[in-house]
Amino acid sequence: MVIWTLAKKDLRLLVRDARAMIILLAMPLIFILVLGVSLGENFGQKSAAGLRITVLNLDAGVPRFFDRPAMLREGMSWLTIMPNHATGSAQVFTAASLASANHQTWFPHQSWSQMLLRDLNETADIRVEFVHSRAEAERLVRSGQRAAVLVLGKNFSKRIERCSFLSSGWHDHLTIAACFPQPGNPIALAMRCSFDEAQTAFPLYLHDGINPFHREGINLHSLDVEVMRDPTQETAAAIIDQVAQGSLLRVVMPWMIGRAFEKIGEPQFIDMLSNKKLDVPIFGVDLSTLLQTFPADQKKGLASGMQRSLQRLFPRYNLTAKTWAALTKEREITTDKSGKNSDYAIDGIGWLRRGGSRYQLLVPSYLVMFAFFLVLTVGWLFVAERRQGTMKRLVVAPLTKAEILIGKMLPCLFVSLFQGFFLLLAGKLVFGMNWGADPLWLLAVVSATSFAAMGLAMLVAALARTETQVAIYGTLLVLVLAGLSGCMMGDRALMPENMQQISRVTPHAWALDAYKQLLTNPRPEIETVGRACLVLTGFGAGLLGLAWGCLRLEGD
């Protein structure tokens, strides 16, 4: 009863000073507000392992004819180099039928951009993030939020299809002349237009082969690929560039090797050789001339034999493969991480970034920091008691030192608890903070933190004799402990690992660890939270014991 009487008297003194109470509640909110607006986009977001590759995919894919990529192109190419009886427009349909008959299984079954993204997803420690407009990509790079953005242009799939070891593909342009030899023929003109890469109606755009390689690796421009770079983050941008180069190489090289090796096994390849002077004399006759005399079945056997012989020369590789894993005879990766891909999204809404993950760290950080600011308030209460002579009257009253200490501590503990719960409520209402999966545990953490703060406050009050000493001792302790624990930084994860361990000598660090579990972990480790609450309670009890030993009442 006597303790409660002392507590009520000091509580009335604290509440009577309305301006001080407003400042006590407003100051942490101001700090949180300023830092929440000022901090970068990535602050407070969970750090995911691996390198993030931001991709803008504008690829239009491969035009399909009868749901077969480049079917007509392939068929007409083969008719160009094969004897046949079809003429005029009938040759076009014959070409499509021939292509369908010769290619029962088409590769790839998806756009080449999807093939590239699959390779990126299957690469260890790579995360893919998507943006959906060039303006957004330019803004991210210009503002420094991303070191680089990989842009796959509209013609990316078409350019990959055109990649070839041959200088001019399979001479598709000759097919037009064979089909429509009449000058000024409107059908011929329409067909010639269909070979333009810009058209999307038919897959007839492969009039020449592209060499995608140069000294640096893949010539990105030739494949309609661009890496937007932030000039202030050259190292990070170069890493992203090299990752893109590696994936492109694994996609393009097997495609080119597989297509070229398939042609070697076709009779049409022998026809192509017979149409060129090989300068290989056999019995005084050039080999190309000799090949022209071979019947069709011998050409087929010769081509197949050449293909098998070359394959036996390179047994470690599957030369007809179209993927890197198949080419190198490695097992395909079946785990597709594309489900973990994400679209770029701003963390929070509005200029305040309300609901952003940053507030899950900022609110508890400054809640803990300002809980210990009450050290100054408690110290000044004790000094005022001594200066006004109230302490002398308490000494002669039938009160023990412990009762006086507890009576002085309780009103400040109530203020500290009110401040903690007020900041959590303001964090939810003003900043859109989430209270986590187990909000009831926040009551225990706030209470344990306030108790530890009051233990330190009682110790400072017991040692200080003047307002100046309270200001010096209290301010120094509050700022040093806040800096050492990571409260000032807003996120303890920004501290070096050894400092994170050293900071556990402070009660602040334990409180922050408990808040981090409850507010940022979708499945908080309650054991960690409970241990932190016990340690905080131990801090409070230990500091109160020191305060009791150091407290010198008037007349002692």
Please, are residues 151 and 228 in contact by the beta-carbon 8 Å criterion?
Answer: yes
* Domains contained in the chain, number: 2
Average pLDDT over residues 378-396: 69
Of the listed ranges 17-21, 142-146, 261-265, 435-439, the one predicted with least confidence: 17-21
Selection from 155-159, 296-300, 392-396, 527-531 with the highest mean pLDDT? 527-531
List the Cα angle 46/50/54 in 5-degree steps.
Answer: 85
Q: Quote the pLDDT of residue 183.
A: 54
Q: Is residue 445 part of a domain?
A: yes
pLDDT at 22: 80
Give the SS3 label for residue 28: helix
Answer yes or no: do 38 and 117 share one domain.
no
Residue 318 lies in a domain: no
Domain assignment of residue 32, yes or no: yes
Residue 73 has what pLDDT? 44
Distance CA 207, CA 441 (A): 69
DSSP summary character for residue 506 = S
Residues 70 and 15 in one domain: no
Point out the domain boundary residue: 343, 375, 396: 343
Between CA 461 and CA 463 the distance in angstroms is 6
Burial class (CB in 10 A: 0-12, 13-18, 19+), 368: buried
Residues 20, 115: one domain?
no
Q: What is the mean pLDDT of residues 413-424?
A: 91
* CA angle in degrees (0–180, nearest 5) for 204-205-208: 125
The tokens for 62 are 């491969």
- Residue that is last in its domain, among 343, 372, 397: 343
**The pLDDT value given to residue 106:** 53
Provide mean pLDDT across the span 236-250: 91
pLDDT of 275 over the 70 cut: no
Low-confidence winner among 14-28, 114-128, 415-429, 496-510 (lowest mean pLDDT): 14-28
162 and 35 within one domain: no
More confident: 368 or 377: 368
CA dist list (Å): 480 to 95, 218, 466, 536: 81, 54, 21, 18
Check whether 44 has a pLDDT greater than 90. Answer: no
**Confidence at residue 135, expressed as pLDDT on a 0 to 100 scale:** 93
| Residue 275 belongs to some domain of the structure | no
Residue with tokens 């594309």, as numbered in its chain: 338
- From 319, 343, 367, give the residue that closes a domain: 343
What are the E-state strand segments in 4-125? 51-57, 64-65, 68-69
Tell whether the model's pLDDT for residue 171 goes beyond 50: no
Same domain, 81 and 180: yes
Q: Is residue 312 part of a domain?
A: no
Could you give the count of Cα atoms lying within 13 Å of 388 in the half-sphere of its Cβ? 8
Whether residue 164 sits in one domain with residue 31: no
Domain identity same for 235 and 374: no
Residue keyed to tokens 């001479």: 171
Residues 6 or more apart in contact with residue 407 via CB below 8 angstroms: 2, 3, 4, 5, 6, 7, 10, 399
Higher pLDDT pick, 1 / 503: 503
Least confident of 14-28, 415-429, 432-446: 14-28
Segment 334-343 shows an average pLDDT of 58
246 and 394 belong to one structural domain = no
Tell me what pLDDT residue 312 has: 80
> Measured between alpha carbons, how far is 405 from 401 in angstroms, rounded to an integer?
6
- For residue 332, the enclosing domain spans 51-254+327-343
Region class of 144: left (phi > 0), else alpha (psi between -120 and 50), else beta = left
**Same domain assignment for residues 235 and 370:** no
Distance CA 81, CA 72 (A): 15
Residues 377 and 473 in one domain: yes
- Read off the pLDDT band of 101 (50, 70, 90): very low
Q: List Cβ<8 Å contacts ≥24 apart for 311-316.
A: 311/261
Average pLDDT over residues 424-450: 92
Q: What is the DSSP letter of 258?
A: H
Place of tokens 């006597």: 2
Q: Do the domain assignments include residue 301?
A: no
Q: What does the alpha-carbon distance between residue 434 and residue 251 come to, in Å, rounded to a whole number?
A: 44
Identify whether the C-beta of residue 129 lies closer than 8 Å to the C-beta of residue 41. no
What's the pLDDT score for residue 512?
93
The CA–CA distances, whole Å, from 63 to 20, 104, 155, 425, 443 equal 72, 18, 11, 57, 62
Query: Given pLDDT bands bounded at 50, 70 and 90, which one contains residue 415?
Result: confident
User: What does the pLDDT look like over 103-140, one tens digit per residue?
Assistant: 444 566 678 999 899 888 888 778 888 999 999 999 98
Q: What pLDDT is attached to residue 189?
A: 59
The span from the CA of 26 to the CA of 349, in Å, is: 23
Residue 181 has pLDDT above 60, yes or no: no
Residue 428 placed within a domain: yes
Residue 473 confidence (pLDDT) above 60: yes
Residue 397 has pLDDT above 50, yes or no: yes
- pLDDT value of residue 168: 53
If asked whether residues 20 and 59 sit together in one domain, one would say: no
Q: What mean pLDDT is predicted for residues 80-102?
A: 45
Q: Which of 226, 227, 251 is nearest to 238 (CA)?
A: 227
Which of 15-19, 212-216, 282-286, 408-412 has the lowest average pLDDT? 282-286
Q: Are the C-beta atoms of residues 302 and 309 closer than 8 Å to each other?
A: no
Long-range contacts of 474-477 (CB under 8 A, 24+ apart): 474/375, 474/376, 474/379, 475/376, 477/372, 477/375
User: Which of these ranges, 108-112, 158-162, 257-261, 483-487, has the smallest mean pLDDT?
Assistant: 108-112
More confident call, 391 vs 214: 214
Whether residues 80 and 204 share a domain: the answer is yes
Residue type at position 228 = M
- Assigned domain for 274 exists: no
Q: 526 or 105: which carries more pLDDT confidence?
A: 526
User: What confidence score (pLDDT) does residue 186 get?
Assistant: 62
Which pairs with CB-CB distance under 8 Å and at least 24 residues apart come from 265-270?
265/303, 265/304, 265/306, 265/307, 265/308, 265/320, 266/303, 267/296, 267/299, 267/300, 267/303, 268/78, 268/81, 268/82, 269/303, 270/294, 270/299, 270/302, 270/303
